[in-house]
Amino acid sequence: MALDEKTYGELREIAGRYPEARSGLLPMLHLVQSAEGRVTPEGIQACAEILEITPAEVSGVATFYTMYKRRPVGDYHVGVCTNTLCAVMGGDEIFSRLKEHLDVGNDETSEDGKITLEHIECNAACDYAPVVMVNWEFMDNQTPESAVALVDDLRAGKEVTSTRGPRLCTWREAERVLAGFPDGRVHEGPAAGGPSLVGLGIASERGWTAPAGSGSTGQPLAGSPAEVAHKTDTSQEAEAAAVEEEAPTSTTAAEKKEAQ
Amino acid sequence: MVDTLTPVLTANWGAERSWTLESYEQHGGYRALKKALTMAPDDIIAAVKDSGLRGRGGAGFPTGMKWSFIPQDNPKPKYLVVNADESEPGTCKDTPLMMASPHTLVEGVIISSFAIRANKAFIYVRGEILHVIRRVQNAVEEAYAAGHLGKDIHGSGFDLDIVVHAGAGAYICGEETALLEGLEGRRGQPRLRPPFPAVAGLYASPTVINNVESIASVPSIIDHGAEWFASMGTEKSKGYGIFSLSGHVTRPGQYEAPLGITLRQLLDLAGGMRKGPDGQPRQLKFWTPGGSSTPLLTAEHLDVPLDFESMGEVGTMLGTRALQLFDETTCVVRATLRWTEFYKHESCGKCTPCREGTWWLAQTLAALERGEGSESDLDLLLDQCDNILGRSFCALGDGATSPISSSIQFFRDEYLAHLTHGGCPFDPAASTAWADKATAGARA
Amino acid sequence: MTTTPDKTEVDLVTLTIDGVEVSVPAGTLVIRAAEQIGVQVPRFCDHPLLEPVGACRQCLVDVPDAGNGRGFPKPQASCTLPVAPGMVVSTQATSPVADKAQQGVMEFLLVNHPLDCPVCDKGGECPLQNQAMSNGRGESRFATSGSGGVKRTFPKPINLSPQVLLDRERCIVCQRCTRFADEIAGDPFIALVERGAQQQIGIAEDAPFLSYFSGNTIQICPVGALTSESYRFRSRPFDLVSTPSVAEHDACGSAIRVDHRRGKVMRRLAGDDPEVNEEWLTDKDRFAFTYASLEDRLTHPMVRDRVEDGGDGSLRPASWPEAFAVAARGLHAAGGVGVLTGGRLTAEDAYAYAKFARVSLGTHDIDFRARPHSAEEAEFLAAHVALTGPWDGGVTYADLESARTVVLVGLEPEDEAGAIFLRLRKSVRHGGTRVLALAPYTTRGLRKMHGTLVPTVPGQEPAVIADLLGRADHGIDAGAVVLVGERLAAVPGAFSAVADLVAKTGARLAWVPRRAGDRGAVEAGCLPTLLPGGRPVADAAARVDVATSWGVGSLPEGPGRDADAIVAALAAGELGGLVVAGVEPDDTTDPAATRAAIEAASFVVALGLRDTEVTRAADVVFPVAAAVEKAGTFLTWEGRPRPFEAVLPSPTSLPDLRVLAGISEELAALGQGAPLGFRTVADVRAEMSQLGPWDGARPTMTPVQPAASTEGQDGLALSTWKLMIDGGSMQDGDKHLAATARPAVARVNPATYAALGLVEGAAVTVTGDRGSVTMPVEVVDDMTDGTVWVPASSTGAGVFAGLASPGTRVTVKGAGA
Which pLDDT band, with edges at 50, 70 and 90, does B232 fall under?
very high
Which pLDDT band, with edges at 50, 70 and 90, does B144 fall under?
very high
pLDDT at C246 over 50: yes
Domain of B390 in residue numbering reads as 279-419
Which pLDDT score, from 0 to 100, does residue C7 have? 47
C401 shares a domain with C365: no
Which pLDDT score, from 0 to 100, does residue B420 have? 97
Total structural domains within chain B: 2
Which pLDDT score, from 0 to 100, does residue C474 have? 83
Contact list, C192 vs chain B (CB under 8 Å): 187, 189, 349
C640 shares a domain with C532: yes
Between chains, do B355 and C142 touch, taking CB under 8 Å as contact?
no
Answer yes or no: is C129 within a domain.
no
Domain boundary among A18, A37, A64: A64
Answer yes or no: is B440 within a domain.
no
Total structural domains within chain C: 5
Which pLDDT score, from 0 to 100, does residue A188 have? 98
Distance from chain centroid for Cα C711: 35
C330 within 8 A of C618, measured Cβ to Cβ: no
- List b or e across C400-432, with b for residues whose CB sees 16 or more CB atoms inside 10 angstroms: bbbbebbbbbbbbbbbbbbbbbbbbbbbbbeee
Distance from CA of A121 to the nearest CA of C (A): 15
Contact list, B13 vs chain A (CB under 8 Å): 191-192, 196-197, 200, 223, 228, 231
E-strand spans in B261-370?
A: 284-288, 297-298, 322-327
Sign of CA dihedral C692, C697, C703, C704: negative
B44 shares a domain with B160: yes
A163 shares a domain with A84: yes
Whole-angstrom distance, CA of residue B335 vs CA of residue B324:
11
Distance from CA of C45 to the nearest CA of A (A): 19
Sign of CA dihedral C348, C351, C356, C359: negative
Q: Tens digits of per-residue pLDDT, A88-103?
A: 999 999 999 999 999 9
Which pLDDT band, with edges at 50, 70 and 90, does A249 fall under?
very low
Whole-angstrom distance, CA of residue C548 vs CA of residue B405:
88
The partner residues of C405 in beta bridges, in order of sequence, read C434, C480
A211-215, B90-94, C683-687, C791-795: which range is least confident on average?
A211-215
Answer yes or no: is A191 within a domain.
no
C676 shares a domain with C586: yes
**Model-level pTM?**
0.94
Sign of CA dihedral B421, B424, B427, B431: positive
**Which of C104, C145, C149 has its CB closest to that of B387?**
C104
Answer yes or no: is A31 within a domain.
yes
Contact list, B433 vs chain A (CB under 8 Å): 89-90, 129-130, 141, 143
Report the mean per-residue pLDDT for chain B.
Answer: 96
CATH of the domain at C103: 3.10.20.740
Angle between helices B102-116 and B130-145 (to 10 degrees): 60
CATH of the domain at B109: 3.40.50.11540
C526 shares a domain with C502: no
A94 shares a domain with A132: yes
Domain boundary among C653, C674, C689: C689
C684 shares a domain with C553: yes
pLDDT at A232 over 70: no
Which pLDDT band, with edges at 50, 70 and 90, does A213 fall under?
confident
Domain boundary among A106, A140, A170: A170
**Which of C195, C205, C207 has its CB closest to that of A54?**
C207
Which pLDDT score, from 0 to 100, does residue C817 have? 47
pLDDT at C731 over 80: yes
A90 shares a domain with A147: yes
pLDDT at A224 over 80: no
Whole-angstrom distance, CA of residue B38 vs CA of residue B16:
31
A113 shares a domain with A138: yes
C667 shares a domain with C552: yes
Does residue B283 sit in helix, strand or coil?
A: coil
Q: Tens digits of per-residue pLDDT, C142-200?
A: 999 999 999 999 998 999 999 999 999 999 999 999 999 999 999 999 999 999 999 99
pLDDT at A243 over 90: no
Return the residue in A13, A28, A127, A172 with the most chain B beta carbons within 10 A, the one to mutate for interface testing. Answer: A127
Whole-angstrom distance, CA of residue B202 vs CA of residue B199:
10
Whole-angstrom distance, CA of residue C74 vs CA of residue C57:
12
Task: List helix spans (H) across C120-260.
Answer: 127-135, 176-179, 215-220
H helix or E strand, kind and range, residue B438: helix B435-440
Answer yes or no: is A245 within a domain.
no
Query: What would the mean pLDDT of A228-252 be, rounded to a whole number?
Result: 39
ipTM of the complex: 0.96
Report the mean per-residue pLDDT for chain A.
Answer: 87
Whole-angstrom distance, CA of residue C664 vs CA of residue A24:
72
Which pLDDT score, from 0 to 100, does residue C816 have? 64
Task: List helix spans (H) across B146-269.
Answer: 176-183, 197-200, 212-224, 226-230, 263-269
Answer yes or no: is C727 within a domain.
yes
Answer yes or no: is C683 within a domain.
yes
Chain C residues interacting with chain A (CB cutoff of 8 angstroms):
187-195, 202-207
Answer yes or no: is A197 within a domain.
no
Which pLDDT band, with edges at 50, 70 and 90, does C9 fall under?
low
Does residue B288 sit in helix, strand or coil?
A: strand
Answer yes or no: is B436 within a domain.
no
Distance from chain centroid for Cα C48: 23
Which pLDDT score, from 0 to 100, does residue C372 have? 97
Which pLDDT score, from 0 to 100, does residue C545 have? 95
Distance from chain centroid for Cα C813: 35
The partner residues of C789 in beta bridges, in order of sequence, read C719, C747
Which pLDDT score, from 0 to 100, does residue C139 have? 83
Query: How far is residue C688 from each of residues C378, C633, C643, measured CA to CA in Å?
Result: 22, 12, 13
Answer yes or no: is B252 within a domain.
no
Q: Tens digits of per-residue pLDDT, B316-356?
A: 999 999 999 999 999 999 999 999 999 999 999 999 999 99
Whole-angstrom distance, CA of residue B414 vs CA of residue B420:
10
Which pLDDT band, with edges at 50, 70 and 90, does C3 fall under?
very low
Whole-angstrom distance, CA of residue B132 vs CA of residue B85:
11
Q: Tens digits of per-residue pLDDT, C675-686?
A: 999 999 999 999
Give burial (CB, 10 Å; 0-12/13-18/19+) of C380: buried
- CA-nearest residue to C152 within chain B is B359
A166 shares a domain with A92: yes
Which pLDDT score, from 0 to 100, does residue B221 have? 98
Domain boundary among A122, A151, A170: A170
C660 shares a domain with C581: yes
Whole-angstrom distance, CA of residue C12 vs CA of residue C28:
9
Query: What would the mean pLDDT of B188-200 be, rounded to a whole number?
Result: 96
B-C interface: how many C-beta pairs under 8 angstroms? 115
Which pLDDT score, from 0 to 100, does residue B309 have? 98
Question: Is the minimum CB–CB distance between C232 and chain B shorter than 8 Å?
Answer: no
**Helix and strand element counts for chain A (H, E):** 12, 5
Which pLDDT score, from 0 to 100, does residue C559 have? 87
B316 shares a domain with B218: no
Distance from chain centroid for Cα B99: 16
H helix or E strand, kind and range, residue C454: strand C452-455
B293 shares a domain with B186: no
C391 shares a domain with C443: yes
Whole-angstrom distance, CA of residue B234 vs CA of residue B239:
8
β C746-748/C771-779 pair status: parallel
Q: Tens digits of per-residue pLDDT, C205-242?
A: 989 999 999 999 999 999 999 999 999 999 999 999 99
CA-wise closest residue to A133 among C155, C50, A124, C507: A124
**Which of B96, B243, B324 has its CB closest to that of A196?**
B96
B153 shares a domain with B71: yes
C774 shares a domain with C642: no
C762 shares a domain with C674: no
Q: Tens digits of per-residue pLDDT, B250-297?
A: 999 999 999 999 999 999 999 999 999 889 999 999 999 999 999 999
**Which of B356, B380, B386 has its CB closest to that of C112?**
B356
Which pLDDT band, with edges at 50, 70 and 90, does B438 fall under?
low
Query: What would the mean pLDDT of C259-265 be, rounded to a whole number?
Result: 96
Distance from CA of C444 to the nearest CA of A (A): 12
Between chains, do C204 and A55 touch, taking CB under 8 Å as contact?
yes
E-strand spans in B278-360?
A: 284-288, 297-298, 322-327
List all chains that touch chain B, counting a touch as 3 or more CB pairs closer than 8 Å.
A, C
Between chains, do C194 and A48 touch, taking CB under 8 Å as contact?
no
B157 shares a domain with B90: yes
Which pLDDT band, with edges at 50, 70 and 90, does C709 fall under?
confident
Return the residue in A54, A64, A65, A69 with the most chain C beta carbons within 10 A, the one to mutate for interface testing. Answer: A54
Angle at B429 between CA B424 and CA B430, to 5 degrees: 90
C668 shares a domain with C523: yes
Q: Tens digits of per-residue pLDDT, C35-46?
A: 999 999 999 999
Answer yes or no: is A30 within a domain.
yes
Total structural domains within chain A: 2
Answer yes or no: is B435 within a domain.
no
Which pLDDT band, with edges at 50, 70 and 90, does A244 fall under?
very low
Domain of C758 in residue numbering reads as 714-812
Distance from CA of C113 to the nearest CA of A (A): 22
Whole-angstrom distance, CA of residue C351 vs CA of residue C225:
46
Answer yes or no: is C356 within a domain.
yes
Domain boundary among C79, C107, C135: C107
Which residues have C-beta within 8 Å of that of residue C651, sequence separation ≥ 6?
none
Q: Tens digits of per-residue pLDDT, B196-229?
A: 999 999 999 999 999 999 999 999 999 999 999 9
Between chains, do C203 and A53 touch, taking CB under 8 Å as contact?
no
CATH of the domain at A23: 1.10.10
B101 shares a domain with B40: yes
Whole-angstrom distance, CA of residue B225 vs CA of residue B46:
11
List all chains that touch chain C, counting a touch as 3 or more CB pairs closer than 8 Å.
A, B
Between chains, do A54 and C191 touch, taking CB under 8 Å as contact?
yes
Task: List helix spans (H) across B278-331.
Answer: 308-313
Query: What would the mean pLDDT of B142-168 be, rounded to a whole number?
Result: 98
B396-400, B435-439, C105-109, C690-694: which range is least confident on average?
B435-439
pLDDT at B96 over 50: yes
Return the residue in A39, A49, A57, A67 with the most chain C beta carbons within 10 A, the one to mutate for interface testing. Answer: A57
Contact list, B17 vs chain A (CB under 8 Å): 187, 191
Q: Tens digits of per-residue pLDDT, C472-489?
A: 888 899 999 999 999 999
Answer yes or no: is B334 within a domain.
yes
**Which of A196, A207, A220 has its CB closest to that of B100?**
A196
Whole-angstrom distance, CA of residue C577 vs CA of residue C606:
11
C418 shares a domain with C354: no
Give backbone dihedrals phi and psi of A171, rounded to 5 degrees, phi first: -60, -40
CATH of the domain at B348: 1.20.1440.230
**Which of A165, A220, A255 has its CB closest to that of B8?**
A220
Question: Is the minimum CB–CB distance between A59 and chain C shorter than 8 Å?
Answer: yes
Whole-angstrom distance, CA of residue C509 vs CA of residue B58:
59
Whole-angstrom distance, CA of residue C89 vs CA of residue C71:
10
CATH of the domain at A91: 3.40.30.10
Which pLDDT score, from 0 to 100, does residue C558 have? 78
Does residue A159 sit in helix, strand or coil?
A: coil
Q: Tens digits of per-residue pLDDT, C425-468?
A: 999 999 889 999 999 999 999 999 999 999 999 999 999 999 99
pLDDT at C759 over 90: no
Between chains, do C204 and A44 touch, taking CB under 8 Å as contact?
yes
Tell me what percent of the residues of chain C surpass a pLDDT of 70: 99
Which pLDDT band, with edges at 50, 70 and 90, does A1 fall under?
low
Q: Tens digits of per-residue pLDDT, C607-664?
A: 999 999 999 999 999 999 999 999 999 999 999 999 999 999 877 779 999 999 999 9
Which residues have C-beta within 8 Å of that of residue B206, sequence separation ≥ 6?
B70, B71, B74, B76, B78, B79, B116, B197, B198, B199, B200
Report the mean per-residue pLDDT for chain C.
Answer: 95
Question: Is the minimum CB–CB distance between B372 and chain C shorter than 8 Å?
Answer: yes
Which pLDDT band, with edges at 50, 70 and 90, does C140 fall under?
confident
| Number of neighbours of residue C652 by Cβ within 10 angstroms | 11
Which pLDDT band, with edges at 50, 70 and 90, does A212 fall under?
confident
Answer yes or no: is A123 within a domain.
yes
Task: List helix spans (H) across C127-184.
Answer: 127-135, 176-179
Answer yes or no: is C40 within a domain.
yes
The partner residues of C438 in beta bridges, in order of sequence, read C409, C454
Question: Is the minimum CB–CB distance between C108 and chain B shorter than 8 Å?
Answer: yes
Which pLDDT score, from 0 to 100, does residue A26 have? 98
Domain of A124 in residue numbering reads as 76-170
Query: What would the mean pLDDT of A28-39 be, rounded to a whole number?
Result: 98
Contact list, A186 vs chain B (CB under 8 Å): 19, 131, 134-135, 137-138
| Number of neighbours of residue C781 by Cβ within 10 angstroms | 8
Whole-angstrom distance, CA of residue C53 vs CA of residue B351:
10
